[in-house]
Amino acid sequence: MPDNKAAVLVEIATELIVNELKRRAVAKGMTVDELVAEAQTQWQQAEDATDELSREGHDQG
Amino acid sequence: MKSFLTAILIVYSLFLTACPKDTAVRKAAKASYELSGITVDVVNATKKAYDAGIIGLAAKDRLAGYEKTITSGGKHFNDVLSGYIAQTAGNLTADQVKILNTILSDQLVTPFLAILQELALISLDQVAYLRTAIAALRTAILIISGTIADAGFPDASRRLAYAG
């Protein structure tokens, strides 16, 4: 359904912006060391999520 | 949809007010923190779009490839930054900023721009009002990519300026 697809896209765009605003608010209270440490954790999460995304649709069985 | 686009414009104006007091090392650390979070969100968004049938397997695989490049570049950027902080107690030299700028421009901005281009190609196959929603998504990613521009790295900022 195209209506549903449009709704999903708007939901995705909204989530991206809301999450970014939250991150910006949190970052204000963090030290440089904390920012770098948290970034390391998030980059690892991104790598794991990307690996999972790459496998999706190609799973055996 | 109009109110949504208005909200985007308001948020965009907020994003343009970067803190001028931040040092180069803090700007770089904030950029790494925010971009890593954005990347997680963009990967999740790609999965959601694929699961909803908005993009097909081939497009999903291409986007996953770009996102993998961003992730590798981001980890590299963070590792290099971390090493510089340990070496210099938080004061980056001009050469170090130049190296970070190159990593940011080549390994993060390039795949981000490729994702924007990919979204533009997807929109060609959709009905007219779906294009509006996709345009909103592209705008969101572009606004969020403003994190890179705010970080004070000129090469990356210049390249993103042409992406609108």
The residue among B69, B71, B76 with the most chain A CBs within 10 A of its CB, best to mutate, is B71
Q: Please tell me the distance from the alpha carbon of residue B116 to that of residue A1, in angstroms, as a whole number.
A: 24
Q: How many CB atoms lie within 10 A of CB B3?
A: 7
The residue among A31, A44, A51, A53 with the most chain B CBs within 10 A of its CB, best to mutate, is A53
Interface predicted TM-score (ipTM): 0.89
Mean pLDDT value of segment B127-135: 58
Most confidently modeled of A29-33, B38-42, B93-97, B101-105?
Answer: A29-33
| Angle at which helices B154-161 and B128-150 cross, to 10° | 160
Q: What are the pLDDT digits (tens) for B22-45?
A: 788 888 898 889 889 888 988 988
DSSP per-residue letters across B104-163: IIIIIIHHHHHHHHHHHHHHHTS-HHHHHHHHHHHHHHHHHHHHHHHTT-HHHHHHHHTT
For residue B140, the chain A residues in CB contact (below 8 A) are: 12-14, 16-17
Residue type, B84: Y
Which residue of A6, A12, A39 is in closest CB contact with B48? Answer: A12
- Contact between B135 and B123 (Cβ < 8 Å): yes
pTM reported for the whole predicted model: 0.78
Q: What is the pLDDT of residue B71?
A: 94
Q: Please tell me the distance from the alpha carbon of residue A50 to that of residue B44, in angstroms, as a whole number.
A: 9
Across the interface, whether the CB atoms of A14 and B75 are under 8 A apart is answered no
Q: What is the pLDDT of residue B11?
A: 43
Does the pLDDT value for residue B90 go beyond 90? Answer: no
Does the pLDDT value for residue A1 go beyond 50? Answer: no
Q: Which residue has the higher pLDDT, B156 or B150?
A: B156
Q: Please tell me the distance from the alpha carbon of residue B8 to that of residue B133, in angstroms, as a whole number.
A: 12
Q: Please tell me the distance from the alpha carbon of residue B115 to that of residue B70, in angstroms, as a whole number.
A: 10
- Contact between B1 and A3 (Cβ < 8 Å): no
Q: What are the pLDDT digits (tens) for A4-54?
A: 777 888 888 888 888 888 888 899 899 999 999 999 999 999 999 999 999
Q: What is the pLDDT of residue B5?
A: 45
Coil vs helix vs strand at B57: helix
Which residue of A17, A32, A43 is in closest CB contact with B78? Answer: A43
